[in-house]
């Protein structure tokens, strides 16, 4: 029932910047409490990986591969999460998905994904 929609993806040159946004139904429309929001990515032929997460308490975790370049921010009142992507590298090319749920290990809601392509 609840659908999250990502936006902001696209194609950029290496070193470029993108900002991904994710928004969906309000908290009242969700059957489970939202205590965690996150961004995942999946490259062709690869497993999905967790890129960044943020808890309701605003505690963030960033994957080592993107640390210092990508920053996550979340607004739990609006049920929205953003991913600021700076100094992008070709290896960042992937489909990026936002997710929300009661915990990082139990994400009930997922977006359809947005393509990010970084060219050298």
H helices present in 48-118, as ranges = none
Q: Of the candidates 100, 73, 120, which has an alpha carbon nearest to the alpha carbon of residue 4?
A: 100
How high is the pLDDT of residue 2?
Answer: 74
For residues 87 and 92, what is the distance between their CA atoms, to the nearest angstrom?
Answer: 10
**What mean pLDDT is predicted for residues 105-113?**
92
Cα separation values, 24 from 11, 65, 80, 116, 120, Å: 24, 28, 7, 20, 33
Model confidence pLDDT, tens digit, residues 89-99: 999 999 999 99
44 has pLDDT over 80: yes
What sign does the CA torsion over 57, 55, 53, 37 have?
A: negative
pLDDT category, 88, cuts 50, 70, 90? very high
């Amino acid at each position: 029932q609840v659908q999250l929609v990502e936006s902001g993806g696209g194609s950029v040159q290496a070193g470029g910047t993108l900002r991904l946004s994710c928004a969906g139904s309000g908290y009242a429309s969700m059957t489970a409490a939202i205590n965690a929001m996150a961004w995942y990515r999946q490259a062709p032929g690869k497993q999905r990986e967790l890129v960044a997460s943020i808890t309701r308490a605003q505690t963030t975790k960033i994957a080592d591969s993107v640390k210092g370049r990508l920053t996550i921010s979340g607004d739990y009142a609006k049920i929205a999460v953003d991913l600021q992507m700076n100094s992008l590298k070709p290896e960042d090319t992937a489909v990026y998905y936002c997710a929300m749920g009661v915990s990082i290990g139990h994400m009930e809601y997922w977006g359809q994904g947005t393509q990010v392509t970084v060219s050298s």
